[in-house]
Structure 1
Amino acid sequence: MKGYAMTPEVSFEFFPPKNLEAAFRLHEAVQSLAPLAPRFVSVTYGAGGTTRALTREAAETLHKTAGLRVAAHLTCVDATRAETLDIVQSYAKAGIKDIVALRGDAPKGATRFEAHPEGFASSVELIAALKAAGDFNIRVGAYPEPHPEATYEGADIDHLKRKFDAGADEAITQFFFAPEPFLRFRDACAKAGIDGMITPGIMPIENWTGAKRFAASCGASIPAELDDAFAKAARDGREELLATAHATELCDILMLEGVERFHFYTLNRPTLTRDVCLALGIAPHASLRNVA
């Protein structure tokens, strides 16, 4: 085990608003978390690329009005190579040079990802094109537990290595509920010769039923003891307290193992994420309190 003295660096994920009420909620979430001086904030793309225009608008707005370093999600779903690279260049013109490059999930109604006939067939192809297109900082996804589509043990590690070899600068993992999956994955990546930055994705649990549904869709295992704890907490009205304690302890254990950065999936609900960050010793910067 490694002791730690440094305060961790953090980043936050938001999703683009689809209506005026959601826009106000995003604004409030940004105002709440921006004072914690994140390394960057990311804006998701939506399942099947359904929020492509909204993602671009939200990313550019956060970059201009909040003064934050913004990483815009980009997927291979339902777009030609030319259309995808046009989006990339529009980000560059707006001053956004950070991209989260993903293959993307199947569009609504489809059972599996199918590449556009004139599009990128994989995230590896997209990463290579981004690397050739300009001076972009490219982040990618990683799965500490087997991706639902993984066909053999170690497939996720092999695929992540191909992403780094194609030009990725950093990987952000899918969320997990216990430290062991991430630590095993990190060790396996190092053994496979992956020396790129791998940042654990942390999802403070706003709603345990919803979290379990997310976990089932992405292959994250659910510890039985955590399921029992949330069942008891629900009876006592202590879900928020448990959620804060769980995420804080998870980060604390990872920090003892040398982790220095976390990426929080906020779901545009900042309270739990902020409370966890404060518990980890991340102090708000007064000069950043009204950035959005």
Structure 2
Amino acid sequence: MPVPSVSFEVFPPRSIDASFKLWETAQALAPLAPRFFSVTYGAGGTTRDLTHDAAYTLHNTSGLPVAAHLTCVGASRAETLATAQRFAKAGVTDIVALRGDAPEGSQGFEPHPEGFANSVELIEALAASGQFTLRVGAYPEKHPEAASQKANIDWLKAKIDAGASEAITQFFFEAETFLRFRDDCAAAGIDAPIVPGILPITNWTSARKFALRCGTSVPAWLDQAFEAAIRDDRHDLLATALCTELCSDLLDEGVDSFHFYTLNRPDLTREVCHALGVTQSITGVRNVA
């Protein structure tokens, strides 16, 4: 089985304890030589400074590439581009450019009066500077706000055409979901790499709620499997097996890179990577087994 390349998403800490957890996550996963760590941006832009500080620290302590999330929410064009320049000054020139989630309690995304109207405008502005490698989000199933899956894919193509070089998908639970999406994207003329986003399930109840909120289908068999596993105290064993099987099925279909949503909990992600042959040697350099 071919050995994939990997990348990892983490979120910025909001407390001292969370800071230690982020550092432990980076320490655990950096030896796997990921392509990059990505650092998320809170809903409504609520972690703007935390994201900058976490991205800067990760980049300087790990020596690895770091991709900072940047959104359009709650800021003017000038403020958003100033944030991008802060990232660049900190040595972080990889950006995951997103529209972003509206603040909790709001009725949905509303552009700032002087801000970017959508992610395409943000990508165009960042690309025009020539300073950044840009990645974007992609939905293998219809985005909750999209009129159709075709409209969903057309919007992804617009983001790639605006200057993005790669897309990372929302998580999904069945390989066929991603493979169908990949085929539809190719048919629409999208030739940029599309990397599947993988969620190792550390807590099924939380993962299920998040899936329903973001439009990810939850197959009945998965509900039944976790119900039995939780009853028999085999949750983590099942989660590891299912995540490894999902990645293996994708590898068999030519997928060569995965982006793991770690939730700052590295153990399950590391176990899955090891099962896929992504390991480290004694010297800490990635070993292709």
Q: Structure 2: any 5+ residue segments left out of the alignment?
A: none
What CA distance in whole angstroms lies between the structure 2 residues aligned with 1:288 and 1:124? Answer: 39
CA drift at 1:135: 2.5
- Asked if the contact 1:36–1:285 (Cα under 8 Å) also holds between the matched residues in 2, the reply is no
CA distance, structure 2, for counterparts of residue 134 and residue 95 of structure 1: 15
Shift of 1:74: 0.1
Q: Match for residue 206 of structure 1?
A: 202
Query: Are 2:157 and 1:161 equivalent residues in the alignment?
Result: yes
Partner-residue secondary structure (3-state), 1:237: coil
- Indicate whether 1:58 and 2:47 are aligned: no
| TM-score of the superposed pair, with normalisation by structure 1 | 0.96
**Whole-angstrom CA distance in 2 between matches of 1:90 and 1:142:** 26
TM-score by length of 2: 0.97
CA RMSD of aligned residues (A): 1.0
2:279 is aligned to 283
1:133 Cα offset (Å) = 1.5
Q: Give yes or no for contact 1:45–1:55 (8 Å, CA) kept in 2.
A: yes
Query: Counterpart of 1:283 in 2: which secondary structure?
Result: strand
- Deviation of 1:285 (Å): 4.0
- Indicate yes or no: 2:264 matched with 1:268: yes
Give the AA of the match of 2:37: V
The yes-or-no answer on 1:104 pairing with 2:73 is no
Q: Partners in 2 of 1:267 and 1:65 — Cα distance?
A: 20
- Written as runs of structure 1 = structure 2, the 5 A alignment for 1:69-108 is 69-108=65-104
**Which of 103, 120, 132 is residue 116 of structure 2 equivalent to?**
120
- Counterpart of 1:256 in structure 2 is 252
2 CA distance for matches of 1:155 and 1:92? 33
Q: Does the Cα contact within 8 Å between 2:2 and 2:251 map onto a contact in 1?
A: no
Residues 171 and 199 in structure 2, CA contact (< 8 A), matched pair in contact too: yes
- Matched letter for residue 164 of structure 2: A
Letter in 2 for 1:20: I
- The SS at the match of 2:38 is strand
Q: Is the 8 A contact 2:73 2:112 kept in 1?
A: yes
Aligned to 2:20: 24
Is residue 243 of structure 1 aligned with residue 239 of structure 2? yes
Within the candidate set 220, 223, 227, 1:231 is matched to 227
Equivalent position amino acid for 2:280 in 1? P
Pairwise CA distance, 1:77: 0.2
- Alignment length, in residue pairs? 285
Encode CA deviations 1:133-178: one digit per residue, 9 max, x unaligned: 2221000000000110011241110000000000001000000011
* 1:36-55 matched pairs, under 5 angstroms: 36-55=32-51
Higher RCO (Cα < 8 Å, 6 or more apart) = 1
Residues 172 and 178 of structure 2 are in contact (CA less than 8 Å); yes or no, is this contact kept in structure 1?
yes
Provide closer, same or farther for how the CA distance between residues 135 and 209 of structure 1 changes in structure 2, counting only shifts above 3 A: same
1:25-64 deviation line (CA, Å, top 9, x unaligned): 1111111111100000000001111111100000000011
Separation in 1, partners of 2:57, 2:65 = 11
Tell me which residue corresponds to 1:216.
212
* Letter of the structure 2 residue corresponding to residue 30 of structure 1: A
Q: Where do residues 186-201 of structure 1 align in structure 2 (5 Å cutoff)?
A: 186-201=182-197
2:147 maps to what in 1?
151
Q: Are 2:141 and 2:149, in contact at CA under 8 Å, matched by a contact in 1?
A: no
- Worse-matched range after superposition: 61-70 or 255-264: 61-70
Any idea what the Cα deviations from partners look like across 1:66-94, whole Å, max 9, x if unmatched?
11100000000000000111111111111
Q: What amino acid is aligned across from residue 49 of structure 2 in structure 1?
A: A
Paired residue type of 1:24: F
Query: Structure 1 segments of 4 or more deviating over 6 A?
Result: none
More off after superposition, 137-146 vs 85-94: 85-94
